[in-house]
Amino acid sequence: MREPAWRRTGSTPDYRFSLANERTFLAWIRTALALLAGAVALDQLAPEFAPGVLRVLLCMALAGIGAVLAIVSYRRWSAQEQAMRHNRELPHSWMMMGMSVVVSAAALVFAVLILLRP
């Protein structure tokens, strides 16, 4: 994979900031992997957790959110790097609010399913 064109623009930021940005990216990737692992675990390890169709929908939702998060985290990392290279304010990200809502909604759905289990 070749280097993106934007890496040849602006000035190279302090490596500490670039490494901090990379650590944040990796944390989001770990979260995406955790969502994917949760989807696989729910499908393979808890077949009686919810009715079949609902369980499949939950698995697909978790896996889909994990995939979207992986893509969005790269875009966020890239936007942050570009802003640092051009001495601009770091862009606002909806990811924190979005992930908070998604995780809260998933917790609520799982809590209801646990309470309704026979």
For 27-49, the pLDDT digits (tens) are 999 999 999 999 999 899 888 88
Measured CA distances, 10 to 29, 42, 49, 70, 84 (Å): 27, 46, 53, 26, 9
Q: Are 34 and 41 in contact (CB under 8 A)?
A: no
Q: What is the pTM of this model?
A: 0.82
For 56-98, the pLDDT digits (tens) are 998 999 999 999 999 999 999 999 999 999 999 999 888 889 8
Domain extents in the chain: 14-116
Say what the pLDDT of residue 54 is: 87
Say what the pLDDT of residue 73 is: 94
Calculate the CA 68 to chain-centre distance.
Answer: 7
Three-state SS for 18?
Answer: helix
Q: Distance between CA atoms of 115 and 118, rounded to whole angstroms?
A: 8
